[in-house]
Amino acid sequence: MSRDCLLAADVGGTKATLGLGEAGSPRRLLTHRVYPSRDHPDLGSIVADFLQRPEVVAHDPRILAACFSVAGPVAGNSSVLTNLGWKVEAAALERQFALPAVQLINDFTAAGQGVAQLTEAELETLQAGEPVERGARLIIGAGTGLGVGLLTWEGDRYVAHPSEAGHTDFAPVDELQDRLLGNLRRSFGRVSYERIVSGPGLMRIFSFLQEAGAGMPSRQLLDASKTRQDAAELIAEFGAAKLDPLAVRALDLFVAAYGAFAGNMALATLARGGVYISGGIAPKIAPKLREGSFIRAFLQKEPFSALLATIPVRVVMNPQVGLFGALVEAQRLAD
C-alpha cells in the first residue's frame, strides 16, 4: 500500500542531501542519502538515483510534494547554483519525475525554517544573550560558500527570507586582514566575505600566511594531505586540534573574520531573537568557536558592543537542518 510522503533535497556546492519524509511529520525522515555534488552533472541525475534506491522503493512512496533547497538565488521557481553552475527549474523536475508540485527555495531559507525543528541538544550556545520572544533571527553558515538568511515572525510562525549577504564586501579590521585583502585583490579584484569565510576561503588564508612567511605546513599535515581530498577540512581539523602551527594561525584568522561578519549581519538585522551559526564548517570547529575569539570579533562593534552582547549566538550542530527546512516547506506545499 502506498505511503504518503514528502521529497526534499538540500543541495550545496560540495554535497546534496536527499530525503524522504513522512507526510504530516516533516521531522520524521524515512530515509536519506548524501551525494557528492560534483560527481553528478545536474540535480535531476541525483533525484533519479535516489528515487530508484531500494530503501526508497521499499516505502512505496506516494509523493505529495517536493521542495529542493539550493545554494543560489531563486526567482520564478528556478535557480542557477552559485558554486556549481547547475540550472535547476521546478517545472522541469515536476515533468521529469511526475511530481504533483515542486518548490525551489534558497538553502539558507531552508536552514532558517529548519532551526525551529531542532532540539536544544542540537544547538550549542556561544553567547546566551537576552533573547527577545519573536524577535528577528539570523542564520549564517560557511561551507563551500557563505550563506545568510533572515527570519521574521509573521502571524503564528517564523518566515524565512533569502539573502546573498555573503557576497558583501570584505571589511578588514586589523593590519593582518588588510594584508589578506591586498593579497586576494590581486586574484579577484573585488573581495567578498565569501572569498574568506568559506572552505575555499580557509585554504586561501592558509596560502596567504605561508606566502607571508608565517610558517610552513608540518610534516604531519603534508602526510595527511596525501590521503585526504578536502584540504579545507584538513586545515580546520589540524587547526582546531592545534596539530599544526600554520593551520592554527589560519583558523584563528578565519574565525576572527567569521565572527566580525556575523556581528555585521546582527547589526544590519537587529537579530534579537538570536544568531544561528550553521553550515558545514561550524560544527567541526565548535571547540575553537567556544574558545572566545569568534564572540570577541562579533562584539567588536563600538559603540554597539553592549547591544550585540544581548543577542544570543548558537551553533547548529545537526547537519540536516536544511533538509528539515525543505521538508517543512514541502509539507506546506502539500497542504
User: What residue ranges of the chain are covered by domains with CATH 3.40.367.20?
Assistant: 166-316
Residue 144's pLDDT is 87
Determine the Cα–Cα distance for residues 281 and 14; give it in Å rounded to an integer.
Answer: 12
Angle between the N-to-C axes of helices 199-211 and 245-269, in degrees from 0 to 180, rounded to the nearest 10:
130
User: pLDDT tens-digit profile of 64-122?
Assistant: 999 999 988 899 999 999 888 899 999 999 999 999 999 999 998 999 999 988 999 99
Contact criterion met (CB below 8 Å) for 238 and 224: yes
Hey, how many other C-beta atoms are within 10 angstroms of the C-beta on 278? 28
User: What residue ranges of the chain are covered by domains with CATH 3.30.420.40?
Assistant: 3-113+320-334
Residue 262's pLDDT is 98
Residue 57's pLDDT is 94
Helices (H), 189-320: 199-211, 219-225, 231-240, 245-269, 286-290, 293-299, 305-308
Residue 317's pLDDT is 96
Q: Does domain 166-316 have CATH number 3.40.449.10?
A: no
Residue 32's pLDDT is 95
The stretches in the chain having pLDDT less than 50 are none
Residue 41's pLDDT is 93
Q: Which three cell numbers stand for residue 312?
A: 544570543
Residue 25's pLDDT is 83
- The CA distances from residue 76 to 109, 136, 143, in Å, are 16, 26, 26
CATH for the stretch 3-113+320-334: 3.30.420.40
Determine the Cα–Cα distance for residues 150 and 87; give it in Å rounded to an integer.
Answer: 25
* Sequence-ordered list of residues with C-beta below 8 angstroms from that of 277, at least 6 positions apart, any chain: 126, 140, 141, 262, 289, 313, 314, 315, 316
pTM of the entire predicted model: 0.91
Residue 202's pLDDT is 97
Residue 306's pLDDT is 97
